[in-house]
């Protein structure tokens, strides 16, 4: 038979093929991005293409309305089982060339299909995970050919998928014999980096999942994703159980240092919590734990070290040496995580002793290194991790803000949870407050507020509420630029009352009675000054102000940029260009899960980032002191005036 010309769109790849060649084979020979898990058996449906006249099916049945060329029994079986194909669609593996053809590969049939991850600016990533599924038919053992099951599996991978010299570790080989026999010598293999078998499932399997884990000092989040589509099938979160060893990072490090076996206890606690979250996510998404074939992990340096079982003691003091800073791979089972037997956990690189894999993940998600604008990215947690730069150069630092922004160290502070005051306004004339509570849509002076909050009640003030209270107290003249509560106002309003030698502002008459003390104002001043000074140090290094500010993390999502700026937490910037990125660390962990090139990218970027250690920077102290005032003594905030 004569050769027929075939053009694939959208790639434009073309070639001549003998009549009867399947479209999947033609695509493979040309290097066209056309997916297949079942290897052309007409089961997976990943190879769907749109074809015009000029194609036929191997075992032609009859012409189908809306479908070019005759229909095959295999396609019929597929449609009977999985529902109809869109008009014009065919299974590429079942459709053969019988004339000159133009074949369109729709986005959902491309291996490297692109998805859009939402963030401040949308980032498009290609789905190209390190682990992919391949269905193989393995030769049965036979007395005349005494080769092993694994040898025959290797042969099948080589013959059917062109995979040379596949490997597997003992835990995976242990599952091999059963899987091959249970599937009648058809098995689906999860292959990592085109080489290592990390799981073998009997028969035909279509779903492979991955989990991205963000270990924060307060909360742990896990995202279970479909590795083929990139879709997040479940997002779950839990408190970090290490809290019982200390609220903030340094108290946990000292627990590890003071108590023999303390680091192992902390490691054990966090690993159990991660494993429980994996179980919860798998149950929610209705997938088996064994279907999880790859994981990624991010966290600040101390969380990163503890989760991986590395001693965090060195991070407790200068020179803050990390055990390892590059991307790091370890078998999931070594961390006590029950997933596919050979699955790995990839931990993203740490940038510096104080700037962790979470900041690397934020960088990956926000991509300041690809930006023409100067971007300031602030992740506020127990420490503030700051990245500043553009495609020319990025700088990173961490600032010792302490946990005040999270509500700790503040007398009426609490975590963001139902019952917490999150929004505050103070009347400039009467000094009377109004506030909004998490879990209640009403302001405190609106009718129905008391009834609406009767069940949960007001319990405290969370981070964003504290920021707004402080800024409003300043704007109302209750707190001076130096951070002093004005006691003379006690004569005018019962909202200001003396407490010892200082004064307090009564935010809620109660119950519970919530007071803002002078010490609370100081704690916020210290935290915001540390954050501001850290950012300012990096800005001075680059010699130019930011074009855009991104607030990452849960706290960044709650906080109102106007108040952050009014308080002088963040430097001046066009308010329209101050945005929240939500959990950008979690997004970065998902990108590294779904796209293998992203791992090389962030390892390269993390190494290239210039690290600035605030603790030894001579300028930091001066900047810190100058930043104590509200909003700031020496810097102008022209955008606030607008």
- Return d(Cα 402, Cα 382) in angstroms, integer: 5
Binder among 13, 32, 40, 476 for ligand FES (CB under 6 A): 40
Using the contact rule CB under 6 A, the part of the chain among 56-64, 86-94, 600-608, 629-637 near ligand FES is 86-94
Rg, Å, the chain Cα set: 29
Tokens at 542, concatenated: 């680059």
Least distance to ligand FES from the beta carbon of 180, Å?
Answer: 20
Q: Is the Cβ–Cβ distance between 84 and 91 less than 8 Å?
A: no
Using the contact rule CB under 6 A, the part of the chain among 85-93, 99-107, 198-206, 236-244 near ligand FES is 85-93
Q: Is the Cβ–Cβ distance between 49 and 92 less than 8 Å?
A: yes
CA 505 → CA 436, 445, 560, 564, distances in Å? Answer: 17, 18, 22, 20
Least distance to ligand FES from the beta carbon of 47, Å?
Answer: 3
Alpha helices per DSSP H over 185-261: 249-258
Strand ranges in 33-83 using DSSP code E only, listed in sequence order: 48-51, 55-57, 63-64, 67-70
Residue among 30 and 264 whose Cβ is closer to ligand FES: 30
129 to 158: interface string for ligand FES, x by CB under 6 A: ------------------------------
91 binds ligand FES (CB under 6 A): yes
Q: Indicate the SS3 state at residue 224.
A: strand
Binder among 43, 173, 208, 269 for ligand FES (CB under 6 A): 43
Residue among 42 and 237 whose Cβ is closer to ligand FES: 42
- Return d(Cα 275, Cα 381) in angstroms, integer: 23
Applying CB under 6 A, the site for ligand FES has a residue count of 14
36 binds ligand FES (CB under 6 A): yes
For residue 558, the 8-state DSSP code is: H
Least distance to ligand FES from the beta carbon of 58, Å?
Answer: 12
Residue among 203 and 439 whose Cβ is closer to ligand FES: 203
Least distance to ligand FES from the beta carbon of 52, Å?
Answer: 19
CA 416 → CA 63, 219, 519, distances in Å? Answer: 62, 12, 21
Tokens at 141, concatenated: 């053992």
Dihedral sign, Cα of residue 119, residue 125, residue 131, residue 134 = positive
For residue 31, the 8-state DSSP code is: T
- Please state whether beta strands 394-399 and 375-380 pair in parallel, antiparallel, or not at all (unpaired): unpaired
User: In the window 413-472, what residues touch ligand FES (CB under 6 A)?
Assistant: none
Residues in CB range of 12: below 8 A, 6 or more apart: none
- Return d(Cα 575, Cα 521) in angstroms, integer: 25
- Return d(Cα 189, Cα 197) in angstroms, integer: 7
For the chain, the farthest-separated pair of C-alpha atoms sits apart, in whole angstroms, at: 103
Q: Within a 10 A sphere around the Cβ of 169, how many other Cβ atoms?
A: 14
42 binds ligand FES (CB under 6 A): yes
Strand ranges in 333-441 using DSSP code E only, listed in sequence order: 344-347, 375-380, 384-389, 394-399, 420-426, 433-437
189 binds ligand FES (CB under 6 A): no
User: In the window 1-30, what residues touch ligand FES (CB under 6 A)?
Assistant: 24
Residue among 43 and 97 whose Cβ is closer to ligand FES: 43
Q: Within a 10 A sphere around the Cβ of 284, how many other Cβ atoms?
A: 13
Burial class (CB in 10 A: 0-12, 13-18, 19+), 527: buried
Q: Within a 10 A sphere around the Cβ of 512, how many other Cβ atoms?
A: 13
Binder among 4, 13, 46, 305 for ligand FES (CB under 6 A): 46
Least distance to ligand FES from the beta carbon of 137, Å?
Answer: 13
Using the contact rule CB under 6 A, the part of the chain among 32-40, 252-260, 439-447, 547-555 near ligand FES is 32-40
Please give the residue whose beta carbon sits closest to ligand FES in the complex.
93
Least distance to ligand FES from the beta carbon of 22, Å?
Answer: 9
Using the contact rule CB under 6 A, the part of the chain among 45-53, 98-106, 209-217, 581-589 near ligand FES is 45-53
Residue among 93 and 420 whose Cβ is closer to ligand FES: 93
Residue among 207 and 515 whose Cβ is closer to ligand FES: 207
Least distance to ligand FES from the beta carbon of 87, Å?
Answer: 18
CA 445 → CA 312, 458, 473, 492, 625, distances in Å? Answer: 49, 14, 18, 21, 38
Least distance to ligand FES from the beta carbon of 94, Å?
Answer: 7
Residue among 25 and 547 whose Cβ is closer to ligand FES: 25
Least distance to ligand FES from the beta carbon of 349, Å?
Answer: 37
Asked, as a colleague might, if the bond just before 631 is cis with ω within 30 of 0, I would say: yes
553 binds ligand FES (CB under 6 A): no
342 binds ligand FES (CB under 6 A): no
Tokens at 384, concatenated: 């503030």
Least distance to ligand FES from the beta carbon of 36, Å?
Answer: 4
Binder among 27, 44, 220, 384 for ligand FES (CB under 6 A): 44
Binder among 47, 98, 421, 516 for ligand FES (CB under 6 A): 47
Region label for 338, one of left (φ > 0), alpha (ψ between -120 and 50) or beta (otherwise): beta
CA 576 → CA 388, 528, 572, distances in Å? Answer: 18, 21, 12
Using the contact rule CB under 6 A, the part of the chain among 6-14, 91-99, 311-319, 408-416 near ligand FES is 91-99
Using the contact rule CB under 6 A, the part of the chain among 36-44, 95-103, 372-380, 504-512 near ligand FES is 36-44
Residue among 40 and 571 whose Cβ is closer to ligand FES: 40
Binder among 4, 6, 21, 45 for ligand FES (CB under 6 A): 45
- Return d(Cα 470, Cα 482) in angstroms, integer: 12
Least distance to ligand FES from the beta carbon of 23, Å?
Answer: 9
93 binds ligand FES (CB under 6 A): yes
Residues that bind ligand FES (CB under 6 A): 24, 36, 38, 40-47, 91-93
């Amino acid at each position: 038979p004569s050769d027929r010309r075939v053009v694939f769109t959208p790639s434009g790849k073309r070639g001549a093929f003998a009549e009867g060649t399947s479209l999947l084979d033609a695509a493979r020979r040309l290097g066209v991005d056309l997916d297949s898990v079942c290897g052309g058996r007409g089961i997976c449906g990943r190879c769907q293409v749109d074809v015009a006249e000029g194609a036929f099916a191997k075992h032609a049945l009859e012409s189908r309305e809306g479908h070019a060329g005759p229909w095959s029994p295999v396609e019929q079986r597929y449609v009977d089982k999985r529902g109809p194909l869109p008009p014009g669609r065919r299974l590429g593996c079942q459709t053969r060339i019988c004339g000159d053809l133009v074949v369109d590969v729709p986005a959902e049939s491309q291996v490297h299909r692109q998805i859009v991850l939402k963030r401040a600016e949308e980032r498009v990533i290609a789905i190209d995970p390190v682990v992919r599924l391949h269905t193989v038919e393995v030769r049965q053992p036979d007395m005349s050919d005494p080769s092993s099951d694994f040898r025959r599996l290797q042969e099948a991978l080589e013959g059917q998928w062109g995979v040379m010299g596949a490997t597997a570790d003992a835990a995976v080989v242990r599952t091999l014999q059963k899987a091959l026999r249970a599937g009648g010598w058809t098995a689906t293999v999860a292959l990592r980096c085109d080489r290592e078998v990390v799981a073998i499932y009997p028969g035909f399997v279509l779903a492979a999942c991955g989990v991205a884990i963000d270990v924060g000092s307060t909360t742990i989040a896990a995202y279970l994703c479909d590795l083929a589509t990139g879709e997040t099938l479940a997002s779950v979160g839990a408190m970090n159980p290490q809290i019982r060893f200390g609220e903030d990072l340094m108290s946990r490090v000292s627990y590890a240092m003071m108590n023999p076996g303390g680091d192992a206890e902390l490691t054990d606690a966090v690993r159990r919590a991660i494993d429980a979250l994996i179980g919860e996510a798998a149950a929610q998404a209705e997938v088996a734990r064994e279907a999880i074939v790859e994981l990624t992990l991010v966290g600040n340096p101390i969380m990163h070290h503890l989760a991986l079982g590395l001693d965090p003691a060195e991070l407790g003091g200068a020179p803050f040496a990390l055990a390892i800073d590059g991307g790091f791979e370890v078998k999931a089972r070594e961390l006590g995580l029950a997933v596919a037997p050979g699955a790995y956990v990839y931990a993203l690189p740490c940038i510096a002793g104080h700037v962790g894999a979470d900041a690397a993940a934020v960088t990956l998600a926000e991509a300041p290194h690809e930006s023409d604008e100067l971007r300031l990215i602030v992740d506020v947690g127990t420490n503030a991790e700051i990245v500043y730069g553009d495609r020319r150069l990025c700088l990173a630092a961490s600032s010792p803000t302490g946990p005040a922004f999270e509500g700790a160290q503040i007398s009426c502070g609490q975590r963001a949870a139902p019952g917490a005051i999150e929004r505050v306004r103070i009347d400039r004339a009467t000094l009377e407050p109004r506030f909004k509570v998490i879990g209640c849509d009403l302001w405190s002076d609106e009718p129905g507020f008391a009834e609406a909050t009767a069940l949960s009640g007001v319990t405290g003030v969370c981070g964003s509420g504290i920021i707004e209270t402080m800024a409003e107290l300043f704007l109302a003249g209750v707190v001076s630029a130096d951070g002093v509560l004005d006691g003379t106002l006690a004569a005018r309003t019962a909202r200001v009352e003396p407490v010892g030698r200082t004064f307090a502002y009564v935010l809620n008459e109660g119950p519970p009675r919530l007071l803002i003390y002078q010490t609370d104002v100081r704690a916020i001043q210290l935290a915001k000054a540390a954050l501001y000074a850290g950012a300012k140090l990096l800005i001075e290094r680059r010699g130019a102000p930011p074009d855009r500010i991104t607030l990452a993390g849960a706290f960044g999502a709650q906080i109102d940029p106007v108040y952050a700026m009014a308080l002088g937490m963040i430097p001046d910037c066009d308010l329209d260009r101050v945005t929240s990125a939500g959990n950008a660390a979690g997004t970065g962990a998902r990108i590294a899960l779904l796209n293998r090139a992203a791992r090389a990218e962030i390892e390269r970027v993390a190494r290239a980032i210039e690290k600035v250690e605030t603790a030894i920077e001579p300028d930091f102290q001066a900047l810190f002191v100058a930043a104590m005032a509200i909003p700031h003594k020496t810097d102008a905030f022209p955008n606030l005036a607008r």
